[in-house]
Amino acid sequence: MDKSPTERNRALTGEHLANERTFLAWQRTAISTMGFGVVIARMNHSPGVHDSGIRMALNEWHVGILFVLGGILSACFAGLRYFKAQKSIESGGYAPNNTGIAISAAINGIMGLFVLWFLIAISL
């Protein structure tokens, strides 16, 4: 039995609101990632960071830039994902984007490894 137009509208409204909440969560993540990148990049102005005397090929500025770029990519991905989900909700054929999630998880994992490597390198 088909739903009435009012029931369908309510269901779609709930799905669109959930899509918007997901988009906003991605935006918060992007902003936090970029902010963390700025904090890391500013570490080269902190006393004691270069006391070990080790010249690293990848310094705090590079790691900070990596995080800012990751945040920018995350914000762009969020917008693309939002509009794709919106179109899928309207057409009634929503399917999760497993590839996009896997790529996002891989990028965040790589960025985390860079931070780990950086923290180990500055503690030597």
Sorted by where each begins, the domain ranges of the chain are: 5-123
* Alpha-carbon gap, residue 57 to 51, rounded angstroms: 16
User: Which tokens belong to 59?
Assistant: 């310094």
pLDDT in tens, 16-75: 888 899 999 989 999 998 998 888 888 765 555 554 554 556 677 888 888 899 899 989
- Cβ-contact 74, 23 below 8 angstroms: no
Task: Report, in angstroms and rounded to the nearest whole number, the Rg of the chain calculated over CA atoms.
Answer: 20
What does pTM read for this prediction?
Answer: 0.70
Residue scoring higher pLDDT (58 or 96)? 96
- Cβ-contact 106, 79 below 8 angstroms: no
Give the amino acid at 78.
A
